[in-house]
């Protein structure tokens, strides 16, 4: 795809790329008209214009329903959608394969800190808005910093990708009041030859230019053709605060396609039929009283008469007129019902695996993701790769930078998505583990199972598979051994009595617990 020559300023570069976005922008506005018109209004000047509401609400309900399902699977409430896993091969290379369980325990602590950081943020509110833009327009830009998650709709950014879809360049355009700019920058603007004091009383356009250079993203901000001081930024590509999302990916295109675009034909037909029925029903409901102009009954007398009044006149002079075409609407109603059913199926508004409840289980989230994947043809997988992983890595980077969690070796520890389709696979691993242990116990007996299966490791792996932190929950091998030795010593004392105190097993020099038992036994004898 050919691009115009790069402008000397961020504003010039932005304007040179707007033309390539115009087709996608126009399609997004048409889709918004049929669903949620306020989402992508015709005018983006900032002035609030009157927005025409569609005659049907199926489109709006479909967008909200689909966006909510994506929100529940991408950022499920009160449960982690990720897991920090260890690369077993790297662990073997380091000769530390025996420490996997201990490392897993430490990673669970970091996972909890990361999940708490997500829960206290307002990211879900911003993400729901972003998902609606994705469903309608197919494109949205996210900016994640310590201040929160910011959403840029398609009308406020342009972008460029390489042939495989990697982001090369992004430019955003916003408006800002001059008083929000640095004072030294305003003084710099005043010194320019083209300075307009009247223009500086209004909102100004501010541009952010983001470019990828090798494995880094660099960016800066510009206003009135001048670079704003202290707005430079730099970040590794895999932890970049800029997350550019597409809904339907088409090779060779810089922008994505919206889901509504695929069903716009049904929405247009439904809109026309609903308008016809509503207007026809209004006409059918209208009642007119006609008075014979040559009769003795006067229209003014009839109009002014209250209910139950007695007036002189003839009933034959009065007639009632109605359209009487309500029966002709039956065909339209049938077509409306058919189209509505198709749209409800397409936007997953039919009853699915999710219950009407405040809390949704992990199994429901996973099955909902499977429903999204099967119905939308891999779109959920795209969002997993283009949103969940970049979002998780960025959140992790922010925690490391603030000193709340230690930096982990990239080669050894990898983030893994464990909700959605990946969660189904995780559940299968848990079921396989339970099936293996049960099969061995049933076929060979519990004793043989305990002889050949590491019960301690099996319990830890089972707990890890369902996301449970085993710290201070599962006893260590040392704790179990100490308890067994104490029990044996207690049984020996009870069976042999005071004579057991001379046993080498209870030598206080060899066993601290034996010393305690000896002291307790001597104290009991003194009391007797």
Sign of CA dihedral 295, 300, 306, 307: positive
- The pLDDT of residue 528 is 47
Cβ proximity of 139 and 245 under 8 Å: yes
Query: Between residues 497 and 228, which one has the greater pLDDT?
Result: 228
3-state DSSP call for residue 292? coil
Q: Express each pLDDT in 245-294 by its tens digit.
A: 999 888 889 999 999 999 999 999 999 999 988 888 777 777 778 888 88
Do 52 and 110 belong together in one domain? yes
Grouping H, G, I as helix, E, B as strand and the rest as coil, residue 321 is: strand
What contacts 238, CB < 8 A, 6 or more positions away?
Answer: 215, 390, 393
Q: What average pLDDT is seen over the chain? A: 81
Q: Name the pLDDT band for 81 (thresholds 50, 70, 90).
A: confident
> Residue 27's pLDDT band (boundaries 50, 70, 90)?
very high
Statement to judge: residues 218 and 352 lie in one domain: no
Q: Which pLDDT belongs to residue 159?
A: 97
Question: Quick check: is 402 in a domain?
Answer: no
**Does the pLDDT value for residue 523 go beyond 70?**
no
**Which range has highest mean pLDDT (16-30, 76-90, 195-209)?**
16-30
**pLDDT at residue 425, as a whole number:** 45
Q: Is the dihedral of CA 298, 301, 307, 308 positive or negative?
A: negative
Residue-wise pLDDT tens digits, 317-353: 888 777 666 666 788 889 999 999 999 988 988 655 4
Over the stretch 394-405, which tens digit does the pLDDT of each residue have?
999 999 999 988
154 with 210, same domain: the answer is yes
Question: How many C-beta neighbours within 10 Å does residue 244 have?
Answer: 24
Question: Which is more confident, 324 or 316?
Answer: 316
Clarify whether residues 189 and 287 are in a common domain: no
In this structure, of 100-104, 177-181, 250-254, 432-436, the range with the lowest mean pLDDT score is 100-104
Same domain for 267 and 125: no
Q: Which residues contact 502 (CB under 8 A, 6 or more apart)?
A: none
Tell whether 107 is covered by a domain.
yes
Report the C-alpha gap between 313 and 311 in whole angstroms: 6
If asked whether residues 127 and 25 sit together in one domain, one would say yes
pLDDT value of residue 32? 96
Same domain, 163 and 96: yes
The answer on 55 and 27 residing in a single domain is yes
Q: What six digits make up the tokens of 525?
A: 């004898």
The mean pLDDT of 377-381, rounded to a whole number, is 72
* 220 and 295 housed in the same domain: no
Asked whether residue 395 is domain-assigned, the answer is no
Which of 215, 241, 261 is the last residue before a domain boundary? 261
Q: So what's the pLDDT on residue 478? A: 78
The answer to whether residue 23 sits within a structural domain is yes
- Band (pLDDT 50/70/90 cuts) for residue 3 is very low
Alpha-carbon distance 207 to 204, whole Å? 10
Do 356 and 298 lie in one domain? The reply is yes
Give the residue, 479 or 68, on which the prediction is more confident: 68
Arithmetic mean of pLDDT, 76-97: 74
> If residue 289 lies in a helix (H) or strand (E), which one and from where to where?
strand 288-291
Per-residue confidence (pLDDT) for residue 20, from 0 to 100: 93
- pTM value is 0.74
Say what the pLDDT of residue 370 is: 67
113 belongs to a structural domain: yes
Domain boundary among 361, 381, 407: 361
Does residue 449 fall inside a structural domain? no
Q: Contact, 484 vs 469, CB < 8 A?
A: no
* Residues contacting 384, CB < 8 A, separation 6+: 74, 417, 420, 421, 422
In a domain, 461, yes or no: no
Q: Is residue 173 part of a domain?
A: yes
Q: State how many domains the chain has.
A: 3
Q: Do 145 and 130 have their domain in common?
A: yes
12-35 mean pLDDT:
95
349 and 222, same domain (yes or no): no
Is residue 62 packed enough to be buried (19+ CB in 10 Å), middle (13-18) or exposed (0-12)?
buried
Distance CA 186, CA 229 (A): 11
Question: Where among 230, 261, 292 does a domain terminate?
Answer: 261
The pairs formed by 281-287 with CB atoms below 8 angstroms and a separation of 24 or more are 281/326, 281/329, 283/323, 283/325, 284/322, 284/323, 284/324, 284/325, 284/326, 286/322, 286/323, 287/320, 287/321, 287/322
User: Who has greater pLDDT, 371 or 355?
Assistant: 371
Mean pLDDT of 226-249: 93
Range of the domain at 490: 477-527
Q: Residue 127 above 90 pLDDT?
A: yes
């Amino acid at each position: 795809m050919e691009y115009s020559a790069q402008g000397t300023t961020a504003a010039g570069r932005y304007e040179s790329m707007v033309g390539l976005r115009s087709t996608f922008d126009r399609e997004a506005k048409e889709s918004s008209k049929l669903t949620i018109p306020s989402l992508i209004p015709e005018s983006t000047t900032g002035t609030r214009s009157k927005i025409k509401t569609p005659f049907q609400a199926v489109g709006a309900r479909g967008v909200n329903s689909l966006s909510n399902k994506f929100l529940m699977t991408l950022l499920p409430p009160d449960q982690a959608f990720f897991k920090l896993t260890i690369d077993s091969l790297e662990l073997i290379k380091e000769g530390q394969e025996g420490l996997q369980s201990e490392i897993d325990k430490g990673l669970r602590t970091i996972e909890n800190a990361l999940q708490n950081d997500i829960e206290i943020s307002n990211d879900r509110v911003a993400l729901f808005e972003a998902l609606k833009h994705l469903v309608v327009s197919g494109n949205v830009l996210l900016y994640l910093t310590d201040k929160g998650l910011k959403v840029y709709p398609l009308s406020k950014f342009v972008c460029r990708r390489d042939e495989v879809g990697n982001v090369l360049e992004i430019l955003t355009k916003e408006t800002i009041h001059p008083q929000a700019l640095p004072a030294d920058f305003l003084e710099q603007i005043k010194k320019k030859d083209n300075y307009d004091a009247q223009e500086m009383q209004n909102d100004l356009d501010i541009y952010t230019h983001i470019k990828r250079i090798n494995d880094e993203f660099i960016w800066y901000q510009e206003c009135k053709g001048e670079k704003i001081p202290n707005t430079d930024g730099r970040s590794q590509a895999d932890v970049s605060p800029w997350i550019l999302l597409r809904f339907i990916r088409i090779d060779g295109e810089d922008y994505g396609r919206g889901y509504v675009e695929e069903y716009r034909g049904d929405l247009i037909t439904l809109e026309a039929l609903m308008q016809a029925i509503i207007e026809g029903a209004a006409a059918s409901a209208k009642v007119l009283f006609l008075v014979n102009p040559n009769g003795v009954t006067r229209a003014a007398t009839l109009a002014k008469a209250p209910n139950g009044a007695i007036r002189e006149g003839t009933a034959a002079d009065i007639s009632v007129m109605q359209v009487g075409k309500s029966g002709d609407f039956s065909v339209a109603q049938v077509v409306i019902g058919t189209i509505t059913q198709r749209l409800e199926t397409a936007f997953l508004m039919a009853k699915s695996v999710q219950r009407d409840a405040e809390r949704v289980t992990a199994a429901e989230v996973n099955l909902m993701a499977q429903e999204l994947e099967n119905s939308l043809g891999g779109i959920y997988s795209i969002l997993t790769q283009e949103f969940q992983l970049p979002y998780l890595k960025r959140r992790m980077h922010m925690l490391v930078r603030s000193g709340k969690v230690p930096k982990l070796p990239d080669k050894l520890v990898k983030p893994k998505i464990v909700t959605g389709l990946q969660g189904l696979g995780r559940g299968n691993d848990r079921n396989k583990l339970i099936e293996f242990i049960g099969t061995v116990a049933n076929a060979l007996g519990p004793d043989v199972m305990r002889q050949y299966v590491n019960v301690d490791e099996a319990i830890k792996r089972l707990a890890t598979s369902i996301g449970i932190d085993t710290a201070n929950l599962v006893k260590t091998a040392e704790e179990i051994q100490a308890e067994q030795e104490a029990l044996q010593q207690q049984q020996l004392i009870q069976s042999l009595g005071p004579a057991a105190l001379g046993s080498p097993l209870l030598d206080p020099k060899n066993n601290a617990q034996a010393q305690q038992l000896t002291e307790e036994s001597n104290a009991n004898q003194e009391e007797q």
